[in-house]
Structure formats: structure tokens, C-alpha cells
């Protein structure tokens, strides 16, 4: 609970207005999500999409908020029956960026923290046998480039890696923390506000 409160305060502080450099960007992006951890090696490359708000803090620094969703699944043949496990994650991510303010081609790199709501379900022949939800905190690294088509609209792409340290509780009461984050490769389209 302390982690979530701490991250919420950081997100609030990062979204406070900055009157001197009020240029803001808003974008939508979509792409692929690949889980990181070895225990998730059976999961397929999934999909992800996000909405991003970024605000300049100076000529070289910016801060922003991403709302991101990703989903991936693993399937297996279990004695002639189809076993499917699905991981869905909804995240709120606060990032600080290094990026030139008025460049036509705008490379950027960012780091931040994320709050994640995770849901894992298991189905055997389309009958649900497992459903667990939880929340987690993680770190984010993001790098990309935007190409401004005119003074307002842009397209771009970025790569993002994030950790998502979910704690799992087993039937015997033992707990274990697993990183169910991964790598995203995204195409982005947006505009200056």
C-alpha cells in the first residue's frame, strides 16, 4: 500500500502545471508486447496500446503520463484439451523525458514508475478454472523518435521495457513475486495541443 501511495504522489507531482513551457503533446500508440521472465516463455507475443500525454518542462526536459493496456496468452494441448492462460495488464505510468522541444525530428528517452492492475485467467476447453487479479509497481525505460509532419501532427515509434512485480499467493499460503512485465514496440500518432 505504501508503494502505491508513493507512486500516486509522484504521478500527481509530475502532472502539476508548468506555465513557462506549456506545449503539450497527446498521442495514441499500438504495437506488440513480449513478456520478459523465463517462467512466461510459453506466452505468445501479445498486443498493447496506449494513450500518452506529455508536457514540456524546459527546452530539453518533459514529463508525461501513459495509460497502457497489454494482453498476451499461452496455449497448450493438455491430454487432448486446449488449456489457455491469459495475462491482461492495465497501467498508469509517470515518466520524465529528455527531448528537444522544437525539433522536427524529436528523439527522446524517458524513465519512470508505473502502477499496474493485472488479471490472469486460465481456461480449459473454454471453461474458466483460474482467475486472479492484483496490483503491482514497476520501473519503465522508454526510447523513441517523433517526426512532425507539420506544426501540429506527428508520427513516431518507440520501444519500452517495464517491470511489473506482481506478488502471487499459492494455495498453501506461500507468496512469490514475479516480474510479468516485458518489452513493447509501438507505432505512435499524435498532435500538439
Q: Domain containing 92 — which CATH number?
A: 2.40.160.20
Nearest to 168 by CA among 142, 135, 137: 135
Question: How many residues are listed for the chain in this entry?
Answer: 193
Tell me what percent of the residues of the chain surpass a pLDDT of 90: 58
Split into its structural domains, the chain has a count of: 1
Band of pLDDT at residue 80, cut at 50, 70 and 90: confident
pTM, entire model: 0.83
Residue 118: its pLDDT value, please?
94
Q: What is the mean pLDDT of residues 85-94?
A: 95
**Is residue 185 within 8 Å of 144, Cβ to Cβ?**
no
pLDDT tens per residue, range 177-187: 888 899 999 99
What is the Cα–Cα distance from 71 to 33, expressed in whole angstroms?
8
* Residue ranges with strand state E in 23-126: 24-35, 46-56, 61-78, 81-98, 105-124
- Strands 46-56, 61-78: pairing is antiparallel
> What is the average per-residue pLDDT within 154-172?
90
- The residue segments making up the domain with residue 151 are 2-192
User: In 3-state terms, what secondary structure has residue 29?
Assistant: strand
Which of 137, 108, 101, 134 minimizes the C-alpha distance to 119?
134
Q: Three cell numbers at 52?
A: 500518452
Per-residue pLDDT, 43: 85
Amino acid at each position: 500500500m505504501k508503494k502505491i501511495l508513493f507512486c500516486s504522489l509522484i504521478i500527481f507531482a509530475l502532472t502539476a502545471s508548468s506555465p513557462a513551457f506549456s506545449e503539450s503533446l497527446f498521442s495514441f500508440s499500438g504495437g506488440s508486447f513480449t513478456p520478459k521472465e523465463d517462467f512466461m516463455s510459453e506466452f505468445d507475443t501479445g498486443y498493447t496500446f496506449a494513450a500518452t500525454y506529455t508536457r514540456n518542462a524546459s527546452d530539453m526536459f518533459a514529463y508525461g503520463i501513459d495509460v497502457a493496456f497489454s494482453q498476451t496468452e499461452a496455449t497448450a494441448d493438455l491430454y487432448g484439451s486446449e488449456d489457455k492462460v491469459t495475462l491482461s495488464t492495465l497501467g498508469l505510468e509517470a515518466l520524465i523525458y529528455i527531448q528537444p522541444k522544437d525539433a522536427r525530428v524529436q528523439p527522446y528517452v524517458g524513465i519512470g514508475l508505473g502502477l499496474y492492475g493485472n488479471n490472469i485467467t486460465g481456461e480449459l476447453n473454454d471453461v474458466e478454472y483460474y482467475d486472479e487479479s492484483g496490483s503491482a509497481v514497476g520501473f519503465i525505460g522508454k526510447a523513441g523518435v517523433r517526426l512532425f509532419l507539420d506544426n501540429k501532427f506527428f508520427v513516431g515509434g518507440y520501444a519500452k521495457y517495464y517491470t511489473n512485480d506482481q506478488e502471487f499467493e499459492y494455495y498453501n499460503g506461500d507468496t512469490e513475486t514475479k516480474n510479468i512485465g516485458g518489452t513493447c514496440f509501438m507505432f505512435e500518432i499524435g498532435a500538439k495541443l
